[in-house]
Structure 1
Amino acid sequence: MATDVESLNALGVVTMEMIRTFVAIELSDAFKGTLVRVQEGLKRAPAGRLVRWVAPEGIHLTLKFLGDISPSRVDEIARALSETCRALSPFELTLSHTGFFPDAHRLRVVWVGLAGAVDELNRLQRAVEGGMNSLGFRPEGRGFQPHLTLGRVRDFARPAEREELAKRVLATQVDEQPRMLVREVHLIRSDLRPTGAVYTSLAVAPLG
């Protein structure tokens, strides 16, 4: 049986593959190196097996998830991001502490928080949200909570195991405090492959 796409193609209708995208800040090598070392410490714990750990290249500071878009919208989104970011100045961030969402009993996400110019980061996120809203992308239903995801807990983990993992996460220190100057924002494409997600920067919007 022909798929909907095949049927449209047979009729001469041109179809375009949708791409999954989000707006984010790319991390410095120093940030990634520190995050990997925090991950390694957590992996050594018995509860570390409960987590699907994110590869270093897959850790981003996400400002806005756009979802599936037509490739024809990339230029429009890139222009809006450039206009938004041009009005803001570069700022500096550092890493702070480990944490998790939503709570110890239902722990699903392990993360590292951010410190430094967090007010400027929040201002940038609000500006990006506003710029994307003007293009028809609805605002997030929840408030922005700046964090860097280290891993996601597997579905089979029991509540007691999640609580044990939570204790380990809270006991883990971020010993290194590298600083990162945020100079630009990226529009990123995410492609799911059998070996994991592949990320491609489609556009860059400098700050200032």
Structure 2
Amino acid sequence: MRCFIAVRLPEKMQSEIATLSAGMQTASEFLKTRITWQSVRNVHITLAFLGDIPESSVSDAGLVMQKIAGRCGAFSLKVGSPLLFPNDKTARTIALRLAKDVDVLTDLRNSLVNELNRRGFDVDTHPFMPHITLARIKSRENLLGIKKIVEARGLAHFGVMDVEQIELIKSTLTPSGAIYETIEVSRLHS
């Protein structure tokens, strides 16, 4: 099964992001660029992508989550304006910025990845660049147009969210998009 570990966003914030996302989607329809917009109910902050793992490994992943979550206290993240990710020139994603306790989020992610790899999972150890994906840019024919759409919403902010748990999420790919199902939750200590 295809799985990842992530932080989910609160429903109220999802609904505010849906409004921004819908506006950008409408504006981008006139561009000759293929953009795949993520369902707002699926927005999250990926901490570790596990890929396809056997069902027998789910409990091991859950144990790692519990161990690491037990060492990390709850924290807050500020969800801010949209940006092209990883940068304007090589953009593959339209995402939202994160601020405030990003260092705590990064430490949590690094601890998870290190422990998962130590236990035999094959998790990418690339440098962590925390963000929330709104859309994937499938062709870069009109990056300037996309950049203008994103910059026009540069003052958008969604407030602060409390991060109190991490989730192991099963991702089932379908022709109409991914279906996410939480299969394990680990609470951060308070």
Above 0.5 in TM-score? yes
Post-superposition Cα deviations, 1:33-77, rounded to whole Å, max 9, x if no partner, equal 222122122123233963211001221110000000000111111
Q: How many Å apart are 1:173 and its aligned residue?
A: 2.6
For residue 3 of structure 1, what is the aligned residue in structure 2? Answer: none
Q: Is the aligned partner of 1:183 residue 2:164?
A: yes
**C-alpha distance in 2 between matches for 1:162 and 1:101:** 12
On the 8 A contact 1:47/1:164 being kept in 2, the answer is: yes
Segments ≥4 residues shifted beyond 6 Å: none
CA gap of 1:179–1:102, structure 2 versus 1, over 3 A, is closer
SS of 1:149's equivalent in the other structure is strand
**C-alpha distance in 2 between matches for 1:48 and 1:57:** 26
- Larger C-alpha radius of gyration, 1 or 2? 1
Q: Could you tell me which of 150, 153, 166 is aligned with 1:169?
A: 150
**C-alpha distance in 1 between matches for 2:113 and 2:126:** 12
Unaligned runs of 5+ in 1: 1-18
- Which residue identity does 1:178 align to in structure 2? G
- Which residue identity does 1:152 align to in structure 2? R
Counterparts of residues 48-63 of structure 1 (less than 5 Å): 50-63=34-47
CA RMSD of aligned residues (A): 1.8
SS of 2:60's equivalent in the other structure is helix
On the 8 A contact 2:113/2:125 being kept in 1, the answer is: no
Unaligned runs of 5+ in 2: none
For residue 76 of structure 1, what is the aligned residue in structure 2? Answer: 60
On the 8 A contact 2:82/2:156 being kept in 1, the answer is: no
Q: How many Å apart are 1:169 and its aligned residue?
A: 1.0
Q: How many Å apart are 1:123 and its aligned residue?
A: 1.3
**C-alpha distance in 2 between matches for 1:192 and 1:139:** 20
**C-alpha distance in 2 between matches for 1:48 and 1:205:** 43
**C-alpha distance in 2 between matches for 1:110 and 1:104:** 10
On the 8 A contact 1:42/1:48 being kept in 2, the answer is: no
**C-alpha distance in 2 between matches for 1:140 and 1:151:** 22
For residue 142 of structure 1, what is the aligned residue in structure 2? Answer: 126
For residue 30 of structure 1, what is the aligned residue in structure 2? Answer: 12
SS of 1:44's equivalent in the other structure is helix
Post-superposition Cα deviations, 1:112-163, rounded to whole Å, max 9, x if no partner, equal 01112111111111111122111122452421001001101233x41xx112
For residue 182 of structure 2, what is the aligned residue in structure 1? Answer: 201
Q: How many percent of aligned residue pairs carry the same amino acid?
A: 28
On the 8 A contact 1:111/1:148 being kept in 2, the answer is: yes
